[in-house]
Amino acid sequence: MERRLIAWLRERLPPHPLLRLGLGDDAAVIEMADVERCVVTTDLLSDGVDFIVGEVDPRRIGHKALGANLSDLAAMAAEPLAAVVSLLLPRDGAFELAVGLYEGMIPLAERYALALAGGDTNAWDGPLAVSATLLGRVTEQGPLRRDGAQPGDCVVVTGPLGGSILGRHLDVAPRVAEALDLHRRYNLHAGIDCSDGLSVDLTHLIEESGCGAVLDAASIPIHPDAHRLSEQRGDGVAPLEHALHDGEDFELILAVPPVDARRITADTAASIIGHFDGAPGLRIRDAAGTVRPLQPRGWEHA
């Protein structure tokens, strides 16, 4: 099955300027002579956790597997270079499933000039698992890290949040171009992508930076999907709660000095949703001006 998949990929993938030796050998050879610092990220996605095989087009699963990793590169403001992908496939229909996964990955790779350099493929009697490892290039501005937020910085988010389970959790739109552009044009102190949930990911950022943050509830952009999800479920969970805790929005959460934050929101669709301060922990201010602690909720990695 693997030899058949390699043959299919060789016919489907165009030559890539970075790839000196790709599919079919024991390892890939990538031309990286001009890369001073390389960013490496990996994600493992599995059936029953990140998607449900049989309910989802395999192309969307492949798109998500690559898109989630691209979002991690965006969080570091790194330029995508190459990827290796490993597939652990259910034995029945393994080749057809693998082709569907790659058909979802290839357009996204082409969009970001990402070389699909190889990987590994195996079949077994268990569920599907997809692991993608990406290499990226640090720009001259340096990597955008989690540990640089400072009291007085604004909390900036690049887009609306919540309700991603209605489809956006699969149709990942990694903010690679936005991250590179913002890092080049403005002074960004820290960043993270919103994959586990706004409250969880912002907590990661403040813990690494040694500061706290206050969110303004009225300023948080709520995606229409959050409103739809709240209406569909009818469980009393407000759209704001979905925006705070759902996750898999794959927007960027940034720590930005106020002057640059105002420029960013004037020039882009980003929003200022709060500020960082010296008090520990995450808090939220409601419409009446009352500030209370905000317990982070969302996806927690085991």
What share of the chain in percent tops pLDDT 70? 98
Q: Which of 80, 103, 138 is the last residue of a domain?
A: 138
Read off the pLDDT of residues 129-152 as tens digits, 9 standing for 90 and up. 999 999 999 999 999 999 999 999
Alpha carbons 82 and 171: distance in angstroms, whole number: 21
Of 112, 138, 164, the one marking the end of a domain is 138
131 and 158, same domain (yes or no): no
88 and 194 in a single domain? The answer is no
- pLDDT tens digits, one per residue of 10-50: 777 777 877 777 777 667 787 776 777 899 999 999 999 99
Boundary of a domain, candidates 111, 138, 165: 138
Q: Which two tokens stand for residue 28?
A: 């890939």
Residues 80 and 192 in one domain: no
Q: Tens of pLDDT along 65-74?
A: 999 999 999 9
The pLDDT of residue 7: 83
Mean pLDDT across 99-127: 96
Same domain, 193 and 109: no
Q: For residue 300, is it within any domain? A: no
Distance CA 285, CA 268 (A): 24
Reported as a single tens digit per residue, the pLDDT across 252-273 is: 999 999 999 999 999 999 999 9
Q: Which pLDDT score, from 0 to 100, does residue 106 have?
A: 97
Are 227 and 277 within one domain? yes
Tell me the pLDDT of the chain averaged across its residues: 93
Residue 62: predicted pLDDT: 98
> Same domain for 201 and 131?
no
Report pLDDT for 253. 98
| Residue 163 within any structural domain of the chain | yes
Task: Work out the pLDDT band at 299, boundaries 50, 70, 90.
Answer: low
| 167 and 231 fall within a common domain | yes
pLDDT at 187: 98
- The whole-number average pLDDT for the span 158-166 is 97
Q: What percent of the chain has pLDDT over 90?
A: 85
Say if residue 216 is in the same domain as residue 106: no
- The per-residue pLDDT for 26 is 66
At residue 4 the predicted structure's pLDDT band, cuts being 50, 70 and 90, is confident
Domain-located, residue 110:
yes
Q: Is the pLDDT of residue 6 over 80?
A: no
Looking at the fold, whether 51 and 114 belong to one and the same domain comes out as: yes
Q: Please identify which residue in the block is written with the tokens 């030899």.
A: 3
* Tally of domains in the chain: 2
CATH number of 220's domain: 3.90.650.10
Rounded to 10°, the helix 58-75/176-185 angle is 10
Give CA separation, 133 vs 70, 73, 208, 269, in Å: 10, 11, 24, 30
User: Please, which pLDDT band fits residue 302 given cuts at 50, 70 and 90?
Assistant: very low
Residue 299 belongs to a domain = no
Going through 139-256 in order, the beta strands assigned E by DSSP cover 154-157, 190-193, 212-216, 252-256
For 207, other C-beta atoms within 10 Å of its C-beta total 15
Q: Is residue 172 part of a domain?
A: yes
Q: Residue 149 domain-assigned? A: no
Residue-number span of the structural domain to which 282 is assigned? 154-293
Helical axes 94-111 vs 2-12, angle rounded to 10°: 30
Please say whether the dihedral angle defined by the alpha carbons of residues 158, 169, 81 and 114, taken in this order, is positive or negative.
negative
Angle at alpha carbon of residue 36, lines to 33 and 41, rounded to 5°: 100
Tell me what pLDDT residue 34 has: 76
Domain annotation covers residue 143:
no
pLDDT band of residue 97 (cuts 50, 70, 90) is very high
Residues 196 and 117 placed together within one structural domain of the fold: no
Distances in whole angstroms, Cα of residue 211 to Cα of each of 146, 154, 214, 220, 277:
11, 13, 11, 20, 6
Give the CATH number of the domain where residue 46 resides. 3.30.1330.10
Average pLDDT estimate for 204-208 = 97
Mean pLDDT for 109-123 is: 94
Angle of helix 58-75 relative to helix 94-111, nearest 10 degrees, comes to 40
pLDDT at position 300 over 60? no
Distance CA 170, CA 61 (A): 7
Question: Residue 27 CB: number of other CB atoms within 10 A?
Answer: 10
